[in-house]
Amino acid sequence: MTQLPTSTEKSLGLVIDLDTCVGCQACVTSCKEWNTGGHMAPLTDYNPYEGGADGVWFNRVHTYEQEAANGCGHDRTVHFPRSCLHCDEPACVTVCPTGASYKRSSDGIVLVDEDKCIGCKLCSWACPYGAREMDMDVGVMKKCTLCIDRIYNENLPERDRVPACVAACPAGARHYGDLADPDSPVSRLVAERGGVDLMPEMGYRPVNKYLPPRDRERTGPAVTAPALESADPQGGFLGWLDGVLSR
């Protein structure tokens, strides 16, 4: 079984804002197009032009309706992007029999070494988030690399050294940075917005965080407008128009 580093220098990860995510799938295909030619290339597609089409994707967005706390049906539709959370306690790594799955001690990114992967799928069973993607064509497990071939890439202009999904997101719902540094912009964002772990009870200590939708009653914008009074309660029609107006 594979060892985890005792600690990592950084914990790089994503922060995803469920308040602005409109479920447009932009992060899904931008991830696909970068990564199908990237570090784990290709992201194979099976039966791409027929029934049963399926393929390797590092990032998927699901849409579901959330039950209201007051029992009045499902009062909110939520779009939920799902990818590897680069956990601090990743069972997918510790379960790996060959050392193929590992967590980098420098930046905390969880990767798969394709040369060591035997395609046993234990990691996909161990991951409660469904973030592992088996490429059946090559018999290798693939997954989000946090765009490790972008974020440090000296062949890209510096401003492009962010994960593909973060650059593409039209609603600006995706953020990236070092979540181990409490003063990093992403950590401050998580603190301000009450960012949460996904399924913390599982104990995997995910690095990625989700910012919850703003509560419409409490944190949403309040327009405290007084009710409109009739301009002329006595019924004198259009009396309020008598003022001098100049064109």
User: By CB under 8 A, what part of segment 160-189 binds another protein?
Assistant: 160-162, 164, 166-178, 184-186, 188-189
Is 33 one of the binding residues for another protein (CB under 8 A)? yes
Fill in the per-residue mask, 188 to 207: x = in contact with another protein (CB under 8 A), - = not in contact: xx------------------
Whichever of 201 and 233 has its CB closer to another protein, that residue is 233
Q: Is there binding between residue 29 and another protein (CB under 8 A)? A: yes
Task: Rank residues 48 and 201 by Cβ distance to another protein and give the closer one.
Answer: 48
Q: Does 140 participate in binding another protein (rule CB under 8 A)?
A: no
What x-and-dash track marks residues 143-162 binding another protein by CB under 8 A? -----xx-xxxxxx-xxxxx
> Which residues within the stretch 90-109 sit at the binding site for another protein (CB under 8 A)?
102, 104-107
Phi, psi angle pair for 61, to nearest 5°: -115, 130
Query: Of 46 and 125, which CB lies nearer to another protein in the complex structure?
Result: 46
Binding of residue 65 to another protein (CB under 8 A): yes
Residue 139 as a binder of another protein (CB under 8 A): the answer is: no
> 109-128 mask for another protein (x: CB under 8 A)?
--x-x---------------
Give the CA diameter of the chain. 87
CA distances from 213 to 84, 121, 188, 201, 216 (A): 21, 34, 17, 21, 9
- Total binding residues toward another protein, as defined by CB under 8 A: 111
Q: Which of 13, 79, 85, 195 binds another protein (CB under 8 A)?
A: 79
Interface with another protein, residue 39, by CB under 8 A: yes
Q: Which is nearer to another protein, 76 or 205 (CB)?
A: 76
Give the angle subtended at the CA of 51 by the CAs of 30 and 77, to the nearest 5°: 50
41 binds another protein (CB under 8 A): yes
221 binds another protein, rule: CB under 8 A:
yes
Indicate the residue among 201 and 217 with the shorter CB distance to another protein: 217
